[in-house]
Amino acid sequence: MAEINVSELKPVGEFGSKVWCEACVAYGVKLLEDGDLPVDLAWGFSEIYLNPPARLLSDGRTLSGYYMMVKDGVISGGDGASAECRSLSGFHVEIPWAAICNQSASLYGREGQRQRSLDEQVMFKAIEEYVGRPNPLELKAREKPVWPPAVGAALSKGSEEGGGLHNIAATLQAPSPEFAEFPTTELGVPVFSAMSEEQKRAFLEMLRVTI
Instruction: Output the domain CATH number for residue 90.
Output: 3.30.1050
Q: What gap in Å lies between CA 2 and CA 81, rounded to an integer? A: 28
In a domain, 185, yes or no: no
- How many of the other CB atoms lie within 10 Å of CB of 117? 12
In a domain, 116, yes or no: no
In a domain, 169, yes or no: yes
The two beta strands, 173-174 and 90-96, are unpaired
Per-residue pLDDT at 12 exceeds 60: yes
In a domain, 50, yes or no: yes
DSSP helix/strand/coil, 152: helix
In terms of C-beta density within 10 A (0-12 exposed, 13-18 middle, 19 or more buried), how is residue 138 classed? exposed
The CA-based angle 109-157-49, given to 5 degrees, is: 65
Give the count of domains, the chain.
1
pLDDT at residue 143, rounded to an integer = 76
Confidence label for 59 from pLDDT (cuts 50, 70 and 90): confident
Q: What gap in Å lies between CA 179 and CA 188, rounded to an integer? A: 9
Average pLDDT for 149-174: 96
pLDDT at residue 1, rounded to an integer = 46
Which residue type, as a one-letter code, is found at position 82? S
pLDDT at residue 78, rounded to an integer = 97
Q: What gap in Å lies between CA 127 and CA 133, rounded to an integer? A: 9
Q: pTM of the prediction?
A: 0.95
In a domain, 55, yes or no: yes
The pLDDT mean for the chain works out to 95
Question: Domain span at residue 14?
Answer: 8-110+136-176
Q: How far is CA 206 from the centre of its chain?
A: 17
**For residues 88 and 156, is the Cβ–Cβ distance under 8 A?**
no
